[in-house]
Amino acid sequence: DLQEIERVLEDKTISHVACVHCETTTGILNPIHDIGCLVKAAGKIWIVDAMSSFGGVPMDIAELEIDFLISSANKCIQGVPGFGFILAKRDCIEACKGLARSVSLDLYDQWNTMEQYNGKWRFTSPTHVVRAFYQALLELEVEGGVAARYQRYLQNQQTLSQGMQQLGFELVLGEECPQSPIITTFLYPTAKSFSFQSFYETLKKSGYVIYPGKVTDLNCFRIGNIGEVYIHDIEGLLAAIASYCENHLNQAVTA
């Protein structure tokens, strides 16, 4: 609610505002452009958690006036897990000097060490992860950059969403909510015979692994649309789900 955010930001004691761009519990894509305009108009430091969107959703950090953007080597960059990274305005990171209450999370000291010693990490670096990250960036460039990867993810998500709805599954997010191309959340079928564990194990045997839901008051599950995943993978998943429904749900309903 942008009006509520604007009202809350009238509080002069608030110095920083953080927002999760792609919220993976539901798959919603929060409007960081609109929120950012309110944050900067109120004179606050603007922090964006783009853990699950950077590299897969086009964004202009300068245009969005983001002071600190946080993401990860894996997720949309498609590297392997092992380190997070932060893109920050130089004056903002310099203002952090001496403020950290943790050695390992001292962002200024990490940045300053890299500046002083040609990119050297303060402590032992995850060399294999950095090398994989470099390779992932090359592959992102070959694919056509973030815009091309976004289109692939979007096509994956739209194909998945349409196919699942044709099979009778309902989306958690309504049409009024901005759905991300990153992950999609579906409600459990209404059939009493449905068991998520059975559903999960059956799909796993077919070569597909999905996520349980994380919305505490809803029976739901999630399916990711990112990574080295293409339309034929989504179509294969949909065929496996259709087979499960035919063999487990419809038979039970008929019986």
Torsion over CA of 109, 113, 119 and 122, rounded to 10 degrees? -80
Please state the pTM of the whole predicted model: 0.92
The 10s digit of each residue's pLDDT in 114-159 is 999 999 999 999 999 999 999 999 999 999 999 999 999 999 999 9
Q: Which CATH superfamily is domain 145-254 in?
A: Aspartate Aminotransferase, domain 1 (3.90.1150.10)
List, in sequence order, every residue forming a beta bridge with 20; answer none if it has no partner.
49
Q: Give 121: exposed, middle or buried? Use CB within 10 Å, 0-12, 13-18, 19+.
A: middle
Write out the two tokens for 132: 């994989």
In contact, 65 and 46? CB cutoff 8 Å: yes
For 155-186, the pLDDT digits (tens) are 999 999 999 999 999 999 988 899 999 999 99
By the 10 Å C-beta count (0-12 exposed, 13-18 middle, 19+ buried), 137 is classed as middle
| Interstrand relation of 45-49 and 16-20 (parallel, antiparallel or unpaired) | parallel
Spans of all domains in the chain: 2-143, 145-254
Q: Tens of pLDDT along 30-49?
A: 999 999 999 999 999 999 99
- Among the listed residues 109, 103, 63, 57, the one whose alpha carbon sits nearest the alpha carbon of residue 86: 109
> Considering only the top CATH level, what class is 2-143?
alpha beta
Separation of alpha carbons 177 and 192, rounded Å:
28
pLDDT at residue 252 in the model: 40
